Structures are given as C-alpha cells and as structure tokens.
Structure 1
C-alpha cells in the first residue's frame, strides 16, 4: 500500500497519533538503551560508543526487534506493535506499515549524526601539532594505511574470494585510527605531549584523512556499479584536490569566517554559521562525485584554525552527543550476530574472516610504529599500539558501508568484531607497555 493510500485509509488523526507514538517511542528506546550501556562501559574505562553499538544490537535484529530498519526484512516486535496499535486505535497491519514508511526520518537523523561527528573530528585536528612531527607522522600514517588496506583487501580477494568492492571497502575500514581513544589513554598516563604521543596523534589525523578519501572513492565507485581505471583515477584526483583545498582554506578562509561571525549578534550564531559551512562542504563534495561524509570532515578541517574553535566545539558537541547516538545505535540494530554462531557450519568461514581481519588490523598498525626515522630514542611499540584502536572512526566507516549496502552480513559482522577487538585491546596493551617504563617528562608540543 502506498503512503497516501495508507493515510486515506486510516484517517489523518489516527495516522498522526500512530506516527507520533512510533517516532517518540523509537527515540525513547534508543536513548534509554544507549545511555544505560554507555554508563556501564565508561565505568570500565571503555569507549561509550561501544555501549551505543551494543545497545543497538540488543534492541535490533539480533535482540528484541524493537528498532528494526525495513531493509533487514525482519518483523518488528509484536509487543511494540500491539502497544502502538492499542494507543492509536489502529490495527497491527496499519501500524507496521506506518512504522516502515516513517523509518527514513530516523535514518535522516542518524545521517546528521554521522556528518556532525565527522565535522567534529576534523575540527579537533590540530594542524600545527601535525606539522611539528610532520615527517614521522606522515611515515607512520602512510604505512598504517597502505599495509592494512593492501593486506586486508588482497587477503579477502585471494584467500576468501570476496567480491572486489566489498573487499576494497573492508580493507579501507582497517585504515582508520581512533584519535579519541588513544589520546584519552595517553593523557591519563601523562604520555600525550611526549614525542611518541605527538607522532601518534599526527599520524591518526592523517590516517583519518587518507581513510575517508579512500572510502569516498569506494562508495562512489559502488554507486556507479562499474570498476574502471579512468573513473578511479578521476575520483582519486578529485578527492586529493578536495582535501588540499580544504587544508588551504583552513588557513585562508578561517579568518573570513571569524570576521563574519563577529558581525553576528543574534543568539545561536556559532552553531548556525558552522552548520552552514558543513552543508556547503557536503554539497561541494557530493557535487563532484565524492561521498558527502568527506565534505563533513573537510568542513571541520577548514574551521580548525578559527579563533572560535572552542566555541564551535562547545556548540556542536551536544548535537553530536544526540545525533551520533542514533547513528551508532542504528548500526547495531542492523547487525545479524547469528552469522557468528560457531555451531552453524555455514558461519565458520565468516568467523575465520573475522579472525583474519583482526590479526591483520593489529599486526599492520604495530609494524607502522617501526616505519619512521628519529634521531631521538622513542618507544616504537607505544607508537604502533597507539595506532591500533579503530573505535568510533572504524564504526563510522562500517556505517557508511552498511548504508551503501556494500557488505554481506558475515563481512559486516567480521568488520564489527575487528573494530571492537582493536578498540578493547589497544587501551589494555598501552597501559601495560607504558607502565613498564619510567614515566617520561612531557615535552612541549
């Protein structure tokens, strides 16, 4: 039944009641589940985003079926449907149809969360600190992108016979490094301002740039449905030019942004002006054939040199906390963890793929810690382990693949396990390695 026909059949008042109850009910379930799990993980000194992801698993396809994207072809919980049905005075069939028709609005909120999170990631990229350890950070970042991307992609192609586009995407998802997780551990252990800490932070910024560029190209290629050298070269050049222009604008356009912001007096000027830059960058990225996510990250880079950076962060973070929660929970709701059941013979290859991705993800980043040249003695194991956690950046990449429909359920779950494994392992191993050596005197950045 079409949406207008459904509206005529059930009546406008009943439809509005059901639509409101479903919309509000979904948000209530998402935030209660996400915050409850986040509170548990933060007390275990683990990233709260993992709690949000697990919350999605619990209320989604692998759990209670309370939040279920229509594309999963699953049945929404009878308890949820019957509750809405009794309150809105509609039949269960009509409630299910309204649920499916209105779900894109929730996905739009999740997309806004993705863009705001990438914007904040770019905004927190300190280009001056990156330049201070530029040579070492560039070497570590390049090695930390090329090795996992190459080994992951070719391993999936040759050993497991995964199709080209999903294999390339999975390889690209392994290039990320979570700045937030590593920075949090380094800060706690008084290691952030050391040479190792600055190399890792600088390399992580470059990792994100290179990884998002690769993903933008892969998603664009998947959308076109063809793989040819010409379009690939064109997209790569467009992505490189786009990022270079963004870096140049971070030096030249930020003062103009500051001047314009100083002229505004109405309340909310910081968040509105920042959101406008975000929209323009996303539009420009999409207009030249790249993923809008790259534009969101570029918008943050452009404003990272602004005098109002702290004010922008303060204005944007509450929005990120709300909308990105929806994004991560929705990723979890689509996960079919039944493909990880080792008792089912059909799942065993997927589990082997997950183990392969995890080993490659750990080994290649640790190897990257030995790839730079330095006159001063440094702890290269710390650098390698600092590059290991994929964290929220890896989940962003996974979310892009899920939204684009590029991944099979088994490969999706394998990438998820790789992200979770590296995110859990890195803080633990870093604490062990750093605690075994004398606490260094922090050097000024």
Structure 2
C-alpha cells in the first residue's frame, strides 16, 4: 500500500510538472503522459511490480471515457451526421482494418492475431487530433469536420471491437473486460451456452432499461439533499455498478457504460454527470497512458533498429492511402483533403486499450502486444510533424495575386444561403444563426474565409455568382438567398441568375444606393436593404426623440416613413431608366414628388403631427421635415442614403 501510494503520488506530481510542458510544445496531453511513463519506466527504471495494480486501477479511466463518449452521442446528432459517420467513418475503419489484417498475416501472424492488429491500428488518436484541430482553429473547416466524423465513428467502433475480441480468444481464453481479469463473482460460470446468451442479453437490456427508468428518479432523490458530493458519488456508482454487472456476465464493462451513456444522453442530468466524472476520467486516463509508456519494450528498437521504423512508416502509409482515397471519394478540396489525410494517419489511444485486451485474452502474444504499443506510441509522436507537413503544403500551394484555388465543395444543405461574409454579411449571419436557423455562407475572398474559419464561423470559399457554386450551396432546396456582396454588378448578376433558377425563391439583397436598389429589384429581388438607409433612419429617430417626441411617437413616425419608402422604392424602380440620371428622368421625378406628398399627408394625419413644432416653437410641420428626400443622385458615384 505504501509503495502504491508513493508511486501514484510520484506520477501525479510528474503530470502536474511535465504535461503542461508537453502541451506548450504542441505534443498534446496524451503524448505528455506517454513520455512520463517512458521516463519512469524504460529510461529511469523506477517502476516495479506495483505497475500491474496501478494499470488495473487506471483502466477505470477508459471505462469512464466511453461513458462520457456515450453521453455526447445524442440520437439527433448521430442522425444528422449519418452520411459521414456510416460512409466516411465506416469505410475508413473497414478498409484500414482489412488492409492491416492482410499485412499482418503476410508478416507471419495467425489470422486471429492479424484481425486483432487490424482493429488496433484502424483507429486514430481522438485526443491528439481534436486537440490539435481546436488549437489551430481548423475544426470548422470541411477537413476538420470530416476528421471529427471519422473519429466519432472510430470511438463507436471500439464497442463492437471489444465485444468481438473474446470470440477470437485462443482455446476459449475467457470473456473480456478492459482490465483483462474476471471479477470475483460470475453469473455465467456454470451455465450452458444458451444460458450465457440469455444472461448476457438480459444484462444489456437491463442496463438500457435502468438507464432510462431507474437513474432519473435516483438522481432526483439524491439532488433533493442539495449536496454536490452526493451527485459525484451517484455518478461513480452508475459507472462502477454497470461495469461490475458487465464483468459478472463476461462482457466488457466499456460496452455497458457506453450504452448507459447513450441512454442518458437526453437526460436532464447529462451535464451533471459529465462535470462529476470528467476530473476522475482525465486523471485516471492519464495514469493509464503513463502505465502504457512505462511498460513499453524498447528492446525491439535495439534488436531490430530498421524494422520498427519500417512498421511505423508502413502503418502511416497504409492509413494515408486509405484516407486520401476516401477524401477524393467524398470530394474534399485539396487543402482539406490533406488536412483530413495527414491528421488521421497515426494510430490512437484506444489501440493501447485493445492491445492490452487482446494480450489478456491470449489473442496476441505479449511480445507482439508490446511491439504494437511501441508502434502506436511512435506514430502518435509524429502527429505534430504531420500537421506541420500539412501547413507547409498549404503555404507551398498559395498562388500569386490574381490566382485562387478551386472553390470549396459544399456538403451541407441549409434553408438560408448567405452570399458575402463582410461586415454586412457577418451581422446578418449572426442574427439568423442565433435564432436557430442554419445557414450556408459563401465568400469569394479567401482571406475573409480563412479569418472567419479561425474565428469559428463555418464559411465556404468561392464566387457565389458562379452557377456551379450556387448549385453546390443548395440553391435548388434553399428557402432564402441573402445577397450581401459589396459589388453592385456582382449582386445584380447573382440575383438575376438565382431568380432564373428558382422563381419561387425569396431573395433579399444589399444595395449600395438607390440606383443599385432599382437594379436589384428589376433583376428579381423580393426585398432590398440600402447600406445607409436604416442607419440614417435610426439617426433621425434619435434626433426627433431628443427634440421632444416620446419614444412611441418617434417609433411611429420612423415606422411610417420606412414602410412608405419601402413601397415607394418598388414603384419608382418601374419608371427608372438605366443610364439616365434620376434628375433627368421626368417620369421618375414626377412620381417621386407625388409620393413625397403622399408621405407628408400620411404623417400629417398621425397624432404626433403637432408635437415637434409645439414643443420647439417651429412653424415647420414635422411631416414636411420627415418627407424631405435628399437621395436624388447626380451620378452613380455620389454618396446615397
């Protein structure tokens, strides 16, 4: 006990000191834990027989991690991601598993061991990749989202892998658990095969039903005490209890806790469970990786200094080939293709779990499992270099001014398409998305797209006036097109094309000035918003409020002005003549004057008509002040609104 406590304290102290350094160097926390284990084990030789006990204790962290993964997998989220999860993620796991299995058999492994190695190496590092994508602000790129889908599918695939592995055990070497040892109590030891099946299915169904019907009332009962430590205890009881039941029926405890997590994903206590378990999971998982690092056998490097790098290189090349092929199949653009490919080319932390599990089941000889752990760790260590390689490739591909890469392939179909992500488009997008409406945003400026992605806004690169890009953005199924481009000619071109393609589409467009508004209405826009009109209207409202009107009176006046002007703009657009200055267009000027008089009459009939002059002694009626229209322009270059 004293030795165990001392070792645990030593490892925790090393975590506090060394993991922040590893994270600062860009290696990530998982590699930091592995390096601590390597330092204490193979390098300094400070580990002993207590390592087995510490490993069994730390493997609870793996069980907790799978429980938390289950909590994150809400059914609606999984359904929304079904195409990439099943297609991209499923194909990656199956193809990589098959190729590595074939390679392992070709190198002399028995087929069961080869299949186990295929499972071990088919996975990538969720912890390292997601952390790196987040740090580099790449999560919202098409490549980042595709990588996340594959990683999520891999995390889900771990569950059936753990369930299948016991059936690969040589000479019936027992049923599986993450730890590799049966619990002291077994519910299936003396049962026939059909009895084992019934008890196993009953345990799984019982876990699902308990998660749905039993956990919620228990949590409500515990929360009534208003003691936070009881919530933590309840969370640990759920994880520990389910893991114990799974051990009793010979199943992986990870399977049970994962299922319980999925069942509780829609529970009102989900966030409470996450916050209670997360600290334990993080520390125990860190200890698990330390024990993996401490148990690494570097004698393979001394005995075969060429073969170990060959194994690592071969693994990376196989995964690169599979991932690149899938990136082409799912039409990722070149930069995102390489981000997706290089980012997932390593093995993952779940490989350590599967390797330990396979060794405990006698599927893999211990020396082969040790070699697999070494290959996994070395492939993870080169992950930062793979991301650096991607950055170098992107820089080398940057073209001179005037040249741009191909537009992005847009994978989503949302009801609102926003063309242009400048200041105007950003504000529109924020309002719309905050109200819960999904948008597809496109901009032709690559620098704007990259900046928005770094800020966390999903933005696609491409010229929205191009018909093929508009089709890729989902113009056939969209409900609204918002044209936020700063170029009046491009805006009119986009509106005209969208109206031809979709006569029923609602189109709202940004107009630089009154003339541009006429152009857009003629092109087919349903509504136009002049750049300076709304801000000028708000300024006028502030002035008349300050001059004596109440807020309600000012609001009524500006609303009347806005609604009348909006209708008048459409009427005036019908008599507008392109290329003819507005003041030289007699029909336009006559209609403009008549509409101004109508507006003055409308405002004169409002209850607020005498408020302004009465309070300030001015004989000019407020209707006349508000009806004055200074927006008659002498040229297209004049400042409007």
TM-score (norm 1): 0.71
Partner of 1:32: 13
Unaligned stretches of 5+ residues in structure 1: 1-18, 70-101, 228-234
Q: Counterparts of 1:140-179 in structure 2 under 5 Å?
A: 140-157=88-105, 159-179=106-126
CA drift of 1:410 comes to: 4.9
CA-to-aligned-CA distance 1:227-269 (integer Å, 9 cap, x gap): 9xxxxxxx99999999999899988888667655644534323
Asked if 1:340 is matched to 2:301, the reply is yes
Partner of 1:203: 150
Deviation at 1:142, TM superposition (A): 0.9
Query: Structure 1 pair 373/357, CA: closer, same or farther in 2 (3 Å)?
Result: closer
Query: What are the within-5 Å matches in structure 2 for residues 228-307 of structure 1?
Result: 259=220, 262-263=223-224, 265-307=226-268
Q: 1:431 to 1:105 in 2, by over 3 A?
A: same
Partner Cα separation in structure 1 for residue 204 and residue 329 of structure 2: 25
Residue 118, structure 1, aligned to residue 83, structure 2 = no
Cα distance change on mapping 1:138 and 1:284 into 2, 3 Å: farther
8 Å contact from structure 2 (residues 143, 340) kept in 1 = yes
Q: CA deviation at 1:149?
A: 0.7
Shift of 1:37: 3.3
Tell me how far 1:48 sits from its aligned partner: 1.3
**Partner residue of 1:400?**
357
Structure 2 residue aligned with 1:13: none
Which structure is higher in helix share?
A: 1
Structure 2 Cα separation of the partners of residues 210 and 430 of structure 1: 27
> Which residue of 129, 132, 136 corresponds with 1:182?
129
CA distance in 1, matches of 2:199, 2:392: 43
Task: Sort the Cα spacing of 1:105 and 1:414 in 2 relative to 1 into closer, same or farther, 3 A.
Answer: closer
- Distance in 2 separating the partners of 1:314 and 1:285: 24
From the superposition, tell whether residues 330 and 404 of structure 1 become closer, same or farther in structure 2 (CA, over 3 Å): farther
Cross-structure match for 2:169: 222
**Is 1:367 paired with 2:321?**
no
The Cα shift of 1:59 comes to 1.6
Sort the Cα spacing of 1:243 and 1:392 in 2 relative to 1 into closer, same or farther, 3 A. Answer: farther
Q: Is the 8 A contact 1:181 1:389 kept in 2?
A: no
Return the alpha-carbon distance in structure 2 between the equivalents of residues 363 and 240 of structure 1. 39
Q: Please provide the CA RMSD for this pair.
A: 4.1
Are 1:53 and 2:1 counterparts?
Answer: no
Report the counterpart of residue 424 of structure 1 in structure 2: 382
Taking structure 2 as the reference length, what is the TM-score of the superposition? 0.51
- Alignment CA distance shift 1:104-1:416 (3 Å): closer
Alpha-carbon contact 2:126-2:349 (below 8 Å) kept: no
Whose relative contact order is higher, 1 or 2, with alpha carbons under 8 Å and at least 6 apart? Answer: 1
Q: How far apart in 2 are the matches of 1:103 and 1:222?
A: 25
Where 2:267 maps in the other structure, the secondary structure is coil
Gaps of 5+ in 2: 175-195, 399-445, 460-641
- Give the Å deviation of 1:155: 0.7
